[in-house]
Structures are given as C-alpha cells and as structure tokens.
C-alpha cells in the first residue's frame, strides 16, 4: 500500500531531488536533473518501478524524523525492541556527479538492519546490467550509470540488491549512491561523513541571508529552504514541484507533470525572495525569466523547461499504474501550448518588481518588455485558457483581463517612475479601457462579486488577487463583496477550492474533482488581512500551517474529508504563498514586500 504524500521528506542538491518515505525508502528520484527520467519511481506504481530502502529489518514506519537545523540533512529514527537506530540522508551540493548519501547510526542496543536497492532507469522501465567493479556495485543501462559504495557485503536476488547487517550503539555504516552518464569515467566516491558535514554547512551558510521579523519564523525559514531546493542551480529556474502525476483526486485523471518552470510563479516568487533577503536568488530567477521569454512575444509560453526549453511534449507511461491507481502517469505538459493571457501581465509585473527592488535591468530587458507590451495591446481582448489551464473552451477570464491591466499599468509606471522610453499615454488609455470593461462585464452587481469569466455564474479564487495587484483598493466594496462570495461558495471546511469544476457546464473540460488549493487559501488569509479582519486572517493562516507534514512540507492541494495532502509535492506555489502571506500578516510594509507597493494600494479608481 502506498505511503501518503505527506509521509515523504525531501532531499536535494539544486539539480534534482529525492523523496524519502517514513519507512526509509527513497521512492522517487530523477537523475541527473529534475526533469530527467526517474531511476526510483515506486511512488507512481510499486516497488517494481525502483526504490532504495534502508531501515530496520522488521520494517515499519519511523518513530520520528527531523531535518538538521535549516538544512536538508534528514534524520529518521526508529525505536525497536532491540534498540534505536538513526538513518541520516543527504544529497551533497553537486560536484562532478550526483550523490545520495545514507549513513546508518546506532543509537542504543543492537538493531538488525536491511537494505534493498532496485535501480530501474527510465521511470521503472529499464533493468540495468549490474556487476561488481573496483569494490563498488555498478549498474549500467543505455545512457545511465550508477555505483553503490558501502563496507557492508551485498547480495543479489530477484533483480534486487540486498544487504543485511546489525548496527550497535555508536556505530556508523555508510552507503553512497553515485550517478553519472554511462559514457563518462566512473567518479571517485565521496566520503560519506564529509558529505554530510558539507551539506549541512552549505544550507547553514545559505540561510545567513535570511531576513524576516515575525511570529512565523520557523515556517518561513523551512519554506525558503524548500524553494531553494526546487531551484536548478545552473540556470536559476525554479520547478513547480519535483514530481509528476501525483493526483489532485486519488484514482482520478487530474495528474500532471510539474517539473517545469511556470512564468506565472515569477512575481510571487520574487516577492518571497526579495521580502526575505535573498536578492541573489531573485536576480537568478529574473535572469532565467528574461532568457526564457526572449524571442517573438507571440510565442510566449506559460511554462518552460528548467534550462528554458520550449518543447515539453506530453505523453503517458502506460507501464506505471499511478499513485494509488491514479492514471494516466504523464510526462511533459500539453498546457505549455495553451494561450493564457495572464502570463504576459505576470512577466511584466515580475520584471517591474525586480526593477523596483533595485535589481539591475539593462536596455535589452526593457526592449523585450516593449515587445511583450505590443503583443498585449493587440490581444488583451482575446479569450484564453486562464491561469488554471482549463482544457475546455477558451473564455474571457476576469483574472486574465486583470493581469493584462497589470502589465500595462506597470509599463506606465516604468515610464513615469524610472524615465524609460515608451508611449505611456497610449498604454494608459488601453489600461483604463480594460479596467472599465472588467468592471462592466466581469462584475455581477446582484451577487456583489466579480465572476470567473464574463457572464459566468462561477467564481474563481484568483479574484482575491484583484486588490493585491492594485486593480481596486482594499476599501472598495466590490473587493469586500468578492472576498465574501469566494469564501461562501468555494470553501470546503474553511479551505478554498480554485473554482467549482462543474460550474458553467464543466468549465475545465475534465472529469472528476480536486482538493482544496493550498496557495489559494493563503490568498484568502491575505485578503482577510487586507480587509482589516486580522483575527480571522491569523486563525486561517495557523490552520494552513497545520496542513504541513512533520517536516514542514506542503503539496499542491489538501482533502479536508480525509485530511490528506494531494497533488505534486513539495509545491513551490504553496510555499511561496506561505511566505508572502506571512510577510503581509506580520505587518511588512507593502513597498518592502512587493512591487505593488503603497502607490498601488488604496488609491486606484
């Protein structure tokens, strides 16, 4: 039976990441980078798809686990009748090869241990050729090669490598798994103890840049570590999650690949990084953004590969049954070809935020933004697929229009505030035209709320962002009415759905349902605070913190009925939502936490 999504912890080396279960099994790892085929894919099927378990021979879930300080060095402990034992896991900062380091430490007594390693390249599809080579176990198949180094004797059975041993109090037994492309020379193994120390030192040093004063420091710190772990160091791109196809509804078809970089995340991520002192990471993300969107603005995509790759063809892995039978398992993402109008606004808003924060912008960056604005001017009134990537008919989504307004608004401000060259009067006229149309066609006066799209009876959690981008001030009655309507119609046990999938004749064109969307509920806490309802905002924020697992991790969604996390994990959007809401609820001045500073709050129309 599959572990729950929240039963997994995260390891990472800023190139890729592994998920380690409470049973000591690594059930997900893509090598050599986030979007590569997995060599451990038991998460999406069963053990036949590859795993690496290191735990007491009697098995069972751990007694407790924790990260060392602010690092991604994971300590998992079991109390057994024979004694207590600890497994210490880490992925050290990437050198010439990728390493996973596991050290078994005896805490008390003498505990029988068992290791089982089943490498299966290409998402569990390919069984490698395994042999012993220079004191290490070597596994090779096609372009992939891995080596296991340990002092423990190994044996093979049923296409799996096993080791049985005992560990007494004070003993430490290392295991190091190293990956490299098969055409390259076998790398020298890292020293396990030094690798653990180096990993902890790296994360401790990185967190010295942390700046936040508020009551939720622990939660914010951990979320930023997660966000850093989701960063692909060579390019600065940040993946939405490290997994593919973890379901939004167990047993259902809403299973997507999130190992890519969404442009929509740009502004939210920059807010979180800049608001907590991580300017270098913000600058790297902005540079990735500029490289990714360079070219014809008509070809702008909603997402890109971690290196800026544009082609992300979607296909299914039919040999995998899916997490708890949730099929199909998808690789790639067809939504990359959708037209989502809001991303033009998100990109322009993010680049404006970077400029406002003092991150250097050259003339070429402004030229690129001018091109994006030209496209936006000509296409703002086109229907689109919306930010939730619906696979039904295109609509005039209100949030998309609001973000088109935002993009033009930031262009006007760039000219007015920074003296950049551009037709500010024309942009201002188009901006005001969009504003008038949205207020006329996107607002339901009888229900006192904005709607999901023009003429819709449904609502959308993204409507909560209307005051955050400055489209209307917090004290506008239409904002308060929208917040109340969204809360009334989209809440499930106090947590917010993105929208009602069955509204307006099945707006997203997909069967089934989904859980409450974590970051949308953070938006609700943020909105309640903006309306002056601070106590309600604090209470909701605390409830959201309780959804994190014991290691502080959040996936994309939450099922209030079963109390389980749903969707891909750990989710950047959820952790960014946590950080930004914490900043707002802690009273950070708007000009410090976001480009939508005081100039955008309380004074617009």
Packing angle of the helix pair 534-545, 572-585 (nearest 10 deg): 150
Mean pLDDT of 487-503: 91
pLDDT exceeds 80 at position 604? no
Average pLDDT over residues 185-202: 95
Calculate the alpha carbon distances from 554 to 113, 164, 492, 517 in Å: 31, 34, 18, 11
Yes or no: say if 489 and 229 are a contact pair by the CB < 8 Å rule: no
What average pLDDT is seen over the chain?
Answer: 93
Which secondary structure element, helix H or strand E, spans residue 364, and what is its range?
helix 363-379
List, in sequence order, every residue forming a beta bridge with 174; answer none if it has no partner: 103
d(CA 121, CA 154): 20
Residue 330 and residue 257 in contact, taking contact as beta carbons nearer than 8 Å: yes
Asked if the structure places residue 355 within a domain, the reply is no
Q: Do residues 125 and 44 touch, judged by C-beta distance below 8 A?
A: no
Residue 522 lies in a domain: no
Q: What are phi and psi of 89, to 5 degrees?
A: -120, 145
Distance from C-alpha of 555 to C-alpha of 567, rounded to nearest angstrom = 6
Give yes or no for residue 289 having a pLDDT over 50.
yes
Residue 535 lies in a domain: no
Q: Could you give the C-alpha distances from 428 to 406, 408, 424, in angstroms and in order?
A: 11, 7, 6
Alpha carbon distance 451, 428 (integer Å): 25
What is the pLDDT at residue 408?
98
Non-local (6+) Cβ contacts of 234 within 8 A are 15, 307
258 in the Ramachandran plot: left (φ > 0), alpha (ψ -120 to 50) or beta?
alpha
Structural domain count of the chain: 1
**pLDDT tens for each residue of 581-601:** 999 999 875 433 333 332 332
Q: Tokens for 571?
A: 């989710």
Q: Is residue 413 part of a domain?
A: no
Task: Supply the pTM of this predicted model.
Answer: 0.94
* Greater model confidence, 310 or 504: 310
Residue 128's domain spans which residues?
Answer: 5-206
Over residues 137-192, the pLDDT tens digits come to 999 999 999 999 999 999 999 999 999 999 999 999 999 999 999 999 999 889 99
Q: What is the pLDDT of residue 500?
A: 86
Q: What percent of the chain has pLDDT over 70?
A: 96
Query: Has residue 63 been placed in a domain?
Result: yes
Is residue 254 over pLDDT 90?
no
Burial of 407: CB neighbours in 10 Å, binned 0-12, 13-18, 19+: buried
Radius of gyration in angstroms for the set of CA atoms belonging to the chain, rounded to a whole number: 25
The tens digit of pLDDT for each residue in 396-444 reads 999 999 999 999 999 999 999 999 999 999 999 999 999 999 999 999 9
For residue 49, the domain's CATH number is 2.70.98.10
Q: Residue 533 domain-assigned?
A: no
Q: Would you say 350 and 74 are in contact if contact means Cβ atoms under 8 Å apart?
A: no
Maximum alpha-carbon separation in the chain: 77
Has residue 509 been placed in a domain?
Answer: no
* Residue 268 counted as domain residue: no
Residue 220: per-residue pLDDT: 98
User: From CA 408, how far away is CA 423, in angstroms rounded?
Assistant: 11
């Amino acid at each position: 039976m599959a572990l729950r999504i929240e039963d997994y912890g995260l390891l990472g080396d800023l190139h890729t990441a592994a998920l380690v279960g409470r049973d000591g099994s690594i059930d997900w790892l893509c090598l050599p980078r986030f979007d590569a085929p997995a060599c451990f894919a038991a998460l999406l099927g069963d053990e036949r798809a590859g795993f690496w378990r290191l735990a007491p021979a009697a098995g069972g879930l751990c007694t407790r686990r924790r990260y060392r300080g602010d690092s991604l060095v994971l300590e998992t402990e079991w109390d057994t009748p024979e004694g207590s034992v600890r497994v210490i896991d880490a992925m050290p900062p990437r050198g010439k090869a990728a390493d996973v380091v596991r050290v078994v430490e005896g805490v008390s007594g003498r505990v029988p241990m068992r290791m089982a390693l089943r490498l299966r390249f290409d998402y569990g599809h390919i069984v490698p050729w395994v042999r012993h080579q220079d004191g290490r176990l070597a596994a090779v198949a096609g372009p992939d090669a891995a080596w296991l180094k340990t002092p423990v004797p190994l044996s093979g059975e049923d296409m799996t490598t096993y080791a049985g041993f005992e560990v007494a109090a004070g003993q430490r037994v290392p295991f190091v798994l190293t990956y490299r492309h098969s055409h390259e020379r076998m790398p020298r193994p890292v020293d396990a103890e030094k690798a653990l120390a180096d990993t902890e030192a790296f994360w401790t040093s990185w967190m010295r840049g942390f700046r936040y004063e508020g009551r939720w420091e622990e939660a914010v710190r951990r979320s930023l570590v997660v966000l850093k772990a989701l960063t692909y160091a060579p390019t600065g791109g940040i993946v939405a999650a490290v997994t593919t196809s973890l379901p939004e509804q167990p047993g259902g078809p809403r299973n997507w690949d999130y190992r890519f970089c969404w442009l929509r995340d740009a502004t939210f991520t920059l807010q979180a990084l800049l608001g907590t002192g991580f300017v270098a990471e913000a600058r790297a993300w902005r540079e990735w953004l500029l490289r990714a969107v360079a070219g014809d603005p008509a070809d702008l995509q909603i997402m890109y590969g971690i290196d800026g790759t544009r082609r992300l063809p979607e296909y299914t892995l039919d040999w995998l049954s899916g997490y708890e039978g949730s099929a199909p398992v998808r690789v790639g993402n067809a939504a990359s070809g959708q037209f989502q109008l809001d991303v033009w606004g998100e990109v322009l808003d993010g680049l404006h935020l970077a400029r406002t924060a003092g991150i250097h912008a050259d003339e070429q960056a402004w030229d690129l933004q001018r091109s994006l604005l030209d496209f936006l001017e000509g296409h703002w009134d086109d229907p689109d697929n919306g930010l939730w990537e619906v696979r039904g008919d295109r609509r005039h989504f209100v949030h998309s229009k609001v973000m088109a307004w935002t993009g033009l608004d930031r262009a006007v401000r760039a000219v007015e505030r920074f003296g950049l060259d551009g037709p500010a009067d024309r942009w201002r006229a188009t901006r005001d035209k969009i504003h008038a149309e949205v207020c006329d066609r996107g607002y339901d006066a009888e229900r006192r709320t904005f709607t999901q799209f023009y003429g819709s009876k449904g609502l959308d959690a993204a409507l909560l962002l209307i005051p955050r981008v400055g489209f209307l001030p917090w004290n506008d009655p239409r904002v308060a009415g929208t917040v109340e309507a969204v809360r009334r119609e989209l809440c499930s046990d106090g947590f917010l759905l993105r929208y009602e999938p069955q509204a307006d004749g099945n707006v997203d064109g997909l069967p089934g349902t989904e859980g409450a969307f974590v970051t949308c509920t953070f938006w609700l806490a943020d909105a309640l605070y903006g309306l002056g309802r601070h106590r309600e905002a604090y209470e909701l924020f605390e409830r959201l913190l309780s959804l994190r697992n014991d290691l502080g991790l959040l996936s994309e969604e939450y099922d209030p009925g079963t109390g389980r996390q749903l969707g891909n994990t750990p989710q950047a959007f959820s952790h960014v939502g946590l950080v930004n809401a914490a900043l707002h609820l802690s009273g950070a001045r708007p000009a410090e936490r976001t480009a939508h500073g005081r100039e955008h709050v309380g004074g617009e129309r």
